[in-house]
Structure 1
Amino acid sequence: MPEPGLSPLQSSLPSAAAHFGAHVLAQAGIVGVEAADTAPSTLPVPAAVGEPEPDLSRILRGPSGLGTAGLSLAARPVEPPVPLESGVPVASGAPASGAPVEALEIPGLYYHPVPEPDPVRVEEVSRRIKDWAVDEVELFPEEWEGQFDGFSVGRYMVACHPDAPTVDHLMLATRLMVAENAVDDIYCEDHGGSPVGLGGRLLLAHTALDPLHTTAEYQPQWAESLHADSPRRAYRSAMEYFVRQSTPSQADRFRHDMARLHLGYLAEGAWAETDHTPEVWEYLAMRQYNNFRPCPTITDSVGGYELPADLHAQPAMQRVLALAGNASTIVNDLYSYTKELAGPGRHLNLPVVLADREGLSERDAYLKAVEVHNDLMRDFEAESAALAAACPVPSLLRFLKGVAVWVDGNHYWHQTNTFRYSLPDFW
């Protein structure tokens, strides 16, 4: 296997817009896109795009008949983010926060650098999320406080959602992220998690997101169960906030993606219980479910607008979201590799599975995992470009940009979270 080179220099985000057609995104009225967004694209966009698929054309055309002229999606504008927050102007781009943050560097990894997240927002989100975790849901015992702080979730979410109009919008994503990690740690992994009985725990926790509808006799027992442990308390509270500030369609979309996530947890748990190492393609199938997809899929809720359900459900959009989640999750495999090897038991990640199933050395398996990530990233960008060109609807264009920004913000957080992560000494 050839020696890895230096990571290719990438245009900074939010200039990821260029990768799926700056000329198309410019028509979307996306707020906060700087001049850098018009940098030449490194990814070719089809020179000529034919008519959209018939079902997409129907959706864009909208209903016909008396009184329906304003219902065409193609003519529907996107409302810009609210420009004020508690009377203070909201910056359109993330300002520099002083000295650059220490960053890990994986040679050959394809990614886009991002501006440092707004330090004022980071501080406020960090304060609010800790108050929520400690006072509202009693998420963790006192001895876990250092780990909670080291997670740096405020910096994570501000980097991933720079277009959020207010801190309240950012908090929607932040609570859900913290709740999801509590379920993963406490039910599945680091803090007492086990594959034994995992299905029952996840099912009951999922009812905090997707409520149980039962008889009057048993409803109070279920409602009481939502306070039984910290993962369920966190899910219940985070979802209540989300439902109040999102549309029913957005909430149902999120529930569906969380069911996907829980299915992935169960597959990984089943393999751990039987000491099974999956084939590489099987592992990647599991990671398509046990991945970050629920986070970028709510980018419109956090941005204060809505991608219509029919557009979200299009196969092309589903492919974009799957590729975004898959690439982001392999980033986690790469940065958490040494952390997982140092933990108890045998933890599956892509380099481990590649080494076992393809007979590679640890170094070569890690380098091949980098290649897999890079292929997924380029496919994600190519599919985004094709969809943006075929369907230049403002809300869809803004959503694609939001997903791209989330993918790069997710990488930024992994790369700069040296409290949690370190890299193998392969170079």
Structure 2
Amino acid sequence: MPEPGPSPLQSSLPGAAAHFGAHVLGSAAAPTAAAGAPAAAGAAPVASGAAAPAPVAPRPAPVAPAPAVTPLLPAAPGAAAVASGALAAPDVSAPPVHLPGFALPGPTGLGTAALSLTRGAGAPALPEPPAPAAGRPVPGLYHHPVPEPDPARVDEVSRRIKAWALDEVQLYPDDWEGEFDGFSVGRYMVACHPDAPTVEHLMLATRLMVAENAVDDCYCEDHGGSPVGLGGRLLLAHTALDPLHTTAEYQPQWAESLHADAPRRAYRSAMGYFVDQASPSQADRYRHDMARLHLGYLAEAAWTETDHMPEVWEYLAMRQFNNFRPCPTITDTVGGYELPADLHAQPAMQRVLALAGNATTIVNDLYSYMKELDSPGRHLNLPVVIADREGVSDREGYLKAVEVHNDLMRDFEAEAAALAASCPVPTVQRFLRGVAVWVDGNHYWHQTNTYRYSLPDFW
């Protein structure tokens, strides 16, 4: 079928741009400048309630967060932030910025008017409001509605990923087909990566997402998973992402082992496709984040084996590793560009990515709460841990978890805006916006996946 075009971007990132260190800008901005893409200036940075561990620019005094709500789109992008005084009105007089090889429409979510990379001379056009989405959002959860993902892309990604799962990696037996279809991974990835230039770019993320879930299900969770011996299984699976370098005598045995089970077959194949398209630094970045993920799996497994109920802060520490971070960290590869390694490694960027991963993972805790209650054994999630450790009811634990998510989301948005203010490099702006889009798309998928998720009766 013809290649569907890219979908419009939607973002929750507040906009700002200012000065960044010349030692980073000199190398990072050079390719863009050569393509005729000057960095655009925008509004003043938004302060976070929590300071970054290594700020890259002076920061204004913290702004108290607004009460937790489920927001609707404002009358104009950024209107709520401007009205509150937390965000200055955007400068719309700067010349447009053109990224080589891909024309980006401007972001249209809450607080993003100043981050458009294609600004004109007049006032920004009002975005079309998103159509009502299926499913019920968690009441009080801070999130941003997104448009329905491009149906042509959803259908094509869904067709290709099922063919890959069945024909290339023999991922699941026939009786798992309903669960695979119910996961709706095509809709998930198209919602999270609307700027992907082609369906094949989307497939990079889709294969990795399916492979990660195969490891989780088969090694840790529903389909034969167990904490017993998990470390050995994860280690061998990780060598499908980070290859073994050994002697000629033992190399063939390791290579054969990569076909031994569905998770390893999926990791090997998905990573092979990814490495073909990613730069070496992008591939190594992904391997690092997957090692973080596997470490989180091991911590949770250890607590299960010892019947340990973690403190709330301990649980949140585990969830910073056992979370979605590997998914938004590849947003540039899926978008067909690269965030330079030195910019990705900046402490401020790492904080933004950590907060994004933490917030999206609490979304999963909240939407999967009922599903996990119905599963055998005791599943740790934030509402359960809060209720147990803080001595409150199940309802109070759940509602407190909503507040924790909302605090993380607001910190994520404020820290991303501050980083955008300190680093007006187009690839940084685009990457930050892409991460914000992924956060919004992740919530959309959880809300609308009524095959998997339902909400408790707490309201």
The answer to whether the aligner puts 1:158 opposite 2:187 as a matched pair is no
Q: Distance in 2 between matches of 1:324 and 1:40?
A: 23
Q: Distance in 1 between matches of 2:131 and 2:86?
A: 37
Q: Distance in 2 between matches of 1:278 and 1:310?
A: 35
Q: CA deviation at 1:16?
A: 2.1
Which residue among 191, 194, 208 is the counterpart of 2:240? Answer: 208
> What residue number does 1:61 align with?
none
Do the aligned residues in 1 keep the contact of 2:208 with 2:267 (CA within 8 Å)?
A: yes
Is structure 2 residue 14 aligned with structure 1 residue 14? no
> 8 Å contact 1:126–1:152 — kept in the other structure?
yes
Structure 2 CA distance for aligned equivalents of residues 134 and 300 of structure 1: 28
**What's the counterpart of residue 40 of structure 1?**
79
**In 1, Cα distance between the equivalents of 2:352 and 2:234?**
27
- Answer whether contact 2:367 2:446 (CA < 8 A) is retained: yes
Q: Is the 8 A contact 2:328 2:438 kept in 1?
A: yes
Q: In the TM superposition, what whole-angstrom CA distance separates every residue of 1:58-92 from its partner, at most 9, and x where no partner exists?
A: xxxxxxxxxxxxxxxxxx97424389xxxxxxxx9
1:323-362, Cα deviation, whole Å (9 max, x unpaired): 0000000000000000001000000000000000000100
CA offsets 1:280-319 (integer angstroms, 9 cap, x no match): 0000000000000000000000000000000000000000
Shift of 1:13: 6.8
Aligned position for 2:179: 147
Percent identity of paired positions between Structure 1 and Structure 2: 79
Q: Are the equivalent residues in 1 in contact too, given 2:17–2:420 (CA < 8 A)?
A: no
Q: Counterparts of 1:123-272 in structure 2 under 5 Å?
A: 123-272=155-304
TM-score, length of structure 2 as denominator length: 0.77
Q: Is the 8 A contact 1:15 1:39 kept in 2?
A: no
Of 59, 73, 79, which residue of structure 1 is paired with 2:100?
Answer: 79
Equivalent AA in structure 2 for residue 242 of structure 1: F
CA distance in 1, matches of 2:156, 2:441: 18
Task: Tell me the residue number matched to 1:283.
Answer: 315
- Structure with the higher fraction of residues in helix conformation: 1
Q: Distance in 1 between matches of 2:349 and 2:384?
A: 31
Q: Is the 8 A contact 1:291 1:325 kept in 2?
A: yes
For 1:22 and 1:28, the matched residues in 2 are separated by 7
Aligned mates of 2:76, 2:227 — CA distance in 1 = 46
Q: Secondary structure at the match of 1:184?
A: helix
Q: What's the offset of the Cα at 1:41?
A: 5.8
Q: 1:105 to 1:23 in 2, by over 3 A?
A: farther
Alpha-carbon spacing, 1:28–1:408, altered in 2? closer, same or farther (3 Å):
farther
Is 1:339–2:367 an aligned residue pair? no
Q: How does 1:100-111 map to 2 (within 5 A)?
A: 100-111=132-143
* Closer/same/farther in 2, CA of residues 148 and 37 from structure 1, 3 Å limit: farther
> How much does 1:103 deviate?
1.5
Give SS of 2:195's match: coil
Q: Return the TM-score normalized by structure 1.
A: 0.82
Cα deviation for residue 271 of structure 1 reads 0.4
Contact 1:13 1:115 in 2 (8 A): no
Residue ranges of structure 1 left out of the alignment (5+ in a row):
1-11, 30-35, 48-75, 84-91
Residues 182 and 230 in structure 1, CA contact (< 8 A), matched pair in contact too: yes
Aligned twin of 2:331: 299
Q: Which residue is 2:448 aligned to?
A: 416
Q: Counterpart amino acid of 1:20?
A: G
- Report the Cα distance in structure 2 between the residues aligned to 1:192 and 1:387, rounded to whole angstroms: 43
Sort the Cα spacing of 1:101 and 1:158 in 2 relative to 1 into closer, same or farther, 3 A: same
- For 1:312, which of 317, 330, 344 is the aligned residue? 344
1:13·1:405 contact (CA, 8 Å) conserved in 2?
Answer: yes
| Cα deviation, residue 39, structure 1 | 3.6
- Displacement of 1:14 in angstroms is 1.4
Change (3 A) 1:257 1:42: same
Contact 2:220 2:226 (C-alpha < 8 Å) held by counterparts: yes
What number of residue pairs does the alignment pair up?
A: 372
> Runs of 5+ in structure 2 lacking a partner?
1-7, 20-36, 42-74, 89-96, 105-117, 119-126
8 Å CA contact retained: 1:45, 1:385 = no
Q: Distance in 1 between matches of 2:282 and 2:238?
A: 17
The offset of 1:40, in angstroms, is: 3.0
In the alignment, is the contact (CA less than 8 A) between 2:17 and 2:421 conserved in 1? Answer: no
Letter in 2 for 1:174: T
Is the 1:16–1:405 Cα contact (8 Å) retained in structure 2? yes
2:385 maps to 353
Q: Quote the Cα distance in structure 1 between the aligned partners of 2:384 and 2:38.
A: 43
State whether residues 227 and 301 of structure 2, in contact with CA within 8 Å, keep that contact through their aligned partners in structure 1.
yes
8 A contact 2:135–2:450 mirrored in 1: yes
Q: 1:120 to 1:200 in 2, by over 3 A?
A: same
Q: Deviations over 1:113-148 (max 9, x none)?
A: 000000000000000000000000000000000000
Q: Which amino acid aligns with 1:146?
A: G
